[in-house]
Structure 1
Amino acid sequence: LTRPSFSESTRRQSRRQTAPWLRAPNSPPCQDQHTIAAPRRTPHALSTMLSFPAVALGFASGGPLLAPRVCSVNGVSTRQQPEPWRTAVLSATGCEDAVDNAAAEYCWKIEYIPRADLLNPVPPRMPADELEVHLCSTSASLEYTFTFPGEYQTCVTTEASEEACVVLQNRYVHRHVMSLTQAEFDEYAGAHNTLRNTSTADGRAAFGHRCLDADEDFHTHDAFVSLHLFSSYANRTSADRSHFLMLQEPAHLAWTMLAQKALRCVA
């Protein structure tokens, strides 16, 4: 060992003074311009961590280790939460290590979780046979279409493995139009054309049974144009003044929500 030179000793002393995690407790913070800030998790990193569902692992006793996951939705592997009426690919053993065990039969239980805080804890139009679904397969992967929005307790088990469960959030997702697949864009554009070319009465007769809450969710496109026009010029013949009121923002959000509900009757 050799004694450090003066310059090396000085540099080490400087590090002790400037690095917050090397200072003695209760010592005043250093005001040196070279102070090194302690690393922090960014909000983006935190939101990324929170975007993955918590999984209760099924420990193996001679069988495969179970860790149910959503591996893709509508054929897109970056989507890891289900979406209403889109085909999701589930894996019992994780997406990266999804290996079938020829000796295992994977049995799934997918159960809708009622919302006690809502007027209707279960969607009124949800069929009873969709509240709890049981499926078994010799493949670790399962294609399944979640229907009504909400949370679903999704569990998988084998004879030689303990049950593993995860709560999946089945939600509609707002995406930029350029993030849609070609098939999704065609479906979206077709639904808009249907709203533009179908009267409210004809639309409810043809698509009302497919609406999320009631047949009355369907409105022709002109209904939303009328809402916008007459509310903007109500009691005013000279100019549009409603867009300068505080009401304009929630009003536009409300009309957009109604338009989305109408589109969901079709697409």
Structure 2
Amino acid sequence: MESNQTRSAIVTGTSGGIGRAVAQRLAADGFAITAHYGGNRGRAEDVVDEVRAAGGQAIAVGGDAADESAMDKLFGAAEEAFGGVDVVVHTAGIMPLAPLTELDLAVFDQVQRTNVRGTAVVAQQAARRVRAGGAIVLFSTSITRLQSPGYAAYAMSKGAVEALTLVLARELRGRDVTVNTVAPGPTDTPLFREGKPAQLIETIAGLNPMGRLGTAEDIAGVVSALAGTARWVNGQVIYANGGAA
């Protein structure tokens, strides 16, 4: 990558807590940001406003992550605005909870479409279009290790993401593009808190050796390293959970 070339990052799911924090961190690292959103345009535009207010470059682009045409347009918008794509961080996902015996299979299908197909579609575009010296960062969850009841559909979907990681890293041999997956533990975001009573959240936080929940900024710091100087980390699943699993 030429030193005077604008470094560009696509971050999906910037309407969520982790996606927003990742976009802000990468903007602070000097990346021009393409802030993707699925349904909440206003939150993504808030991210764009924050990045621009801090002196950075950013645009917001919507689209269904599991739709290949929409994601082709997302990457095209980033390339048109900033000249190319160097980093792709795919945080977008959904996490409805239910025991398997009570799981609505229509919900199961939705989880797999969003989390598995969505990851495959975004990763496919990234593999085709990320420039040399770049990075692809996918997202799983420490639930694949914690294996908590109620998370069957979500854990199954994220297990597929972990399986893809090293396969794609090896498929990109010779491209100088790394592929890694970040697997957060319990992280204090609206997605995590949804449907959980305060006492349960307090209990989960107390189980961590660090004595607290993770923050979106904790996770963004891991992504920053993978998108930046941590070039010798490739094909790995990074469990960013403070020692929870």
More helix by share: 2
If the TM-score is normalised by the length of the shorter chain, which range does it land in?
Answer: under 0.3
> Per chain length, whose mean CA-contact separation is higher, i.e. which structure has more relative contact order (CA < 8 Å, sep 6+)?
2
TM-score, scaled relative to structure 2: 0.22
Rg (Cα) greater in structure = 1
